[in-house]
Amino acid sequence: MKSAWHRLAWLHFGLAVASAFAGEPALQRYEFTELHMGTRFKIVLYAPNAAAASRAVTAAFARIARLDDTMSDYNPGSELMSLSRQAGGPPRRVSEDLFRALEKSQKLALRTNGAFDITAGPVIRLWRRARRRSELPDSKELARSRRLVGYRDLRLDAAKRTAQLLKPGMQLDLGGIAKGFAADEALAVLRQQGISRALVAGGGDIAVGAPPPGKEGWRIGIAPLESPEAPPTHFLMLRDVGVSTSGDAEQNVEIGGKRYSHIIDPRTGEALIGRRSVTVVAPSATASDSLATAISVLGPQRGLQLAKSLPGVGLYFVQSSQRGTRTMEWNLHPAIAKDTARSPGRTAASAASPR
């Protein structure tokens, strides 16, 4: 789940912003960063004072850390790993957090016919090793791993809150949904602490709440496909939603002139090839995170069909090939705004105001 948070960047200006709303005390902007889930989590919030901000953010990061302990596929002590070790055994009762993440993942797996599939663990591991070694997975090993992949072999029982992996050797991987899930949960904790004007970003997965005082939304920049380090040129203005970008800009490997992504097609066991960047806006970051991964696998046409079939989902799909770069946009309100007001060399914070 290593990823670079700079794929998406939000920009905002002003330090102390007096609230435009009567009755709300003057709010100040605070920003915090911690490393979790192999990536940088950033929280931006508006609070009446430093003590309130710090109290809330401590609770929010603690929530993220707990979810990391639950869902990590790197930490052998995580609940997820321990569940995977019991593959082939009887149903096992799991925590509420894990059950919810499994349930949401299975729903999307069903809807996408397995384009999104958290049972792809064995294949994902092979491709991870391939990236480390810059060498394609062994085809026999890949075929063996593929036989262990299949969301239908993960059985959930909501009444008993149990999960069962039917085949020994199966391995779950929540890398395509965990960061969005954690961002949503952290935002909920902030809300419980009385802070509603907040943004939580876990790498490229962002949950935004109520907007900064006097603004219509959080200004979210979408990093350019070819140079994700460069300042964004396209922006979204968002509130109370999740937004995620799945790209292969940071995690890929080039072997034999082909560029292999860290997203794999669970139905074939192959890593995606080529350059694409998929940005999804959805009612939650759990949804945007998993959908961005799923739509990367489905491709522009079927991805668009999926986006259209779901309420409150917007899509921005950028794909580059020998024939050039193709972009596709659906249901983004306001539409993705190309920021032309930005002067070169400066951070985009000085540009375009909310619309």
Q: Is 118 in the site for ligand ADP (CB under 6 A)?
A: yes
**Which listed residue (293, 298, 313, 336) binds ligand ADP by CB under 6 A?**
293
Nearer to Mg ion, 28 or 261 (CB): 261
Q: Is 269 in the site for ligand ADP (CB under 6 A)?
A: no
Annotate 116-148 with three-state secondary structure.
Answer: CCHHHHHHHHHHHHHHHHCCCCCHHHHHHHHCC
d(CA 270, CA 281): 27
Closest CA to 311 of 241, 262, 263: 241
Q: Is 295 in the site for ligand ADP (CB under 6 A)?
A: no
19, 153 Cβ separation under 8 angstroms: no
Q: Is 121 in the site for Mg ion (CB under 5 A)?
A: no
281, 234 Cβ separation under 8 angstroms: no
Q: Is 9 in the site for ligand ADP (CB under 6 A)?
A: no
Nearer to ligand ADP, 59 or 255 (CB): 255
**Which listed residue (46, 116, 218, 235) binds ligand ADP by CB under 6 A?**
116
Query: Measured from the CB of residue 79, what is the shortest distance to ligand ADP in angstroms?
Result: 17
**Which listed residue (293, 298, 314, 332) binds Mg ion by CB under 5 A?**
293
Q: Which of residues 140-179 bind Mg ion (CB under 5 A)?
A: 176
Nearer to ligand ADP, 164 or 245 (CB): 245
* Contacts of the segment 47-52: beta carbons below 8 A, 24+ positions apart: 47/195, 52/193, 52/194, 52/195
d(CA 322, CA 258): 13
Cα–Cα–Cα angle for 144, 147, 151, nearest 5°? 145
d(CA 33, CA 202): 10
**Which listed residue (78, 246, 252, 288) binds ligand ADP by CB under 6 A?**
246
End-to-end CA distance of the chain: 34
Q: Is 263 in the site for ligand ADP (CB under 6 A)?
A: yes
Q: Is 303 in the site for Mg ion (CB under 5 A)?
A: no
Query: Measured from the CB of residue 195, what is the shortest distance to Mg ion in angstroms?
Result: 26
Q: Is 228 in the site for ligand ADP (CB under 6 A)?
A: no
Q: Give the nearest residue (CB) to ligand ADP.
A: 175
Query: Measured from the CB of residue 341, what is the shortest distance to ligand ADP in angstroms?
Result: 29
Query: Measured from the CB of residue 202, what is the shortest distance to ligand ADP in angstroms?
Result: 8
Binding site residues, ligand ADP, CB under 6 A: 1, 3, 116-118, 120, 124, 173, 175-176, 203-204, 246, 251, 262-264, 266, 289, 292-293, 297
